Amino acid sequence: MIALRPGDLVVLKSGGPVMTVDAVNTDIFDDDKVTGILCAWFVGTKLERARFDPGALIAAPSPEASSEQSQTSPTETSGAYKAILDEMVAAMNDPAEAPGEASKTPGARPKQTSGSKRAAEDRAEASGTH
């Protein structure tokens, strides 16, 4: 466990926002025994505060380290995957349907038959009986 002090930046081991250590709570009989860490962070403009077990927190990565990592190893998207993503983006950017068109029912689709039923129909067609 790392020694935390007020003002340190931390995150939950499971992930989440970067939080600032507000206070380190210790046992009333033993100042070396940490019983909880009070953290503060913002959600939009609202200040949130919560107490966490010290084992649930880790030091937040420094902004310099994360920017260096993103510059040295950019994520590249492979060709086929990129093409699929481009199609999805294009579909999301298509103009919305007119209000009258949205209520129309789609055209009738051909009925799908199961494999065994289709095989029986094919045999019947081949033998000339239907």
The whole-model pTM stands at 0.47
Rounded Cα–Cα distance for residues 22 and 6 (Å): 5
pLDDT per position as a tens digit, 25-73: 888 888 788 889 999 999 899 999 999 998 999 999 877 755 555 554 4
Contact predicate 21/4, CB 8 Å: yes
- Residue at 127: amino acid letter: S
pLDDT of 70-88, one tens digit each? 554 444 546 666 677 777 7
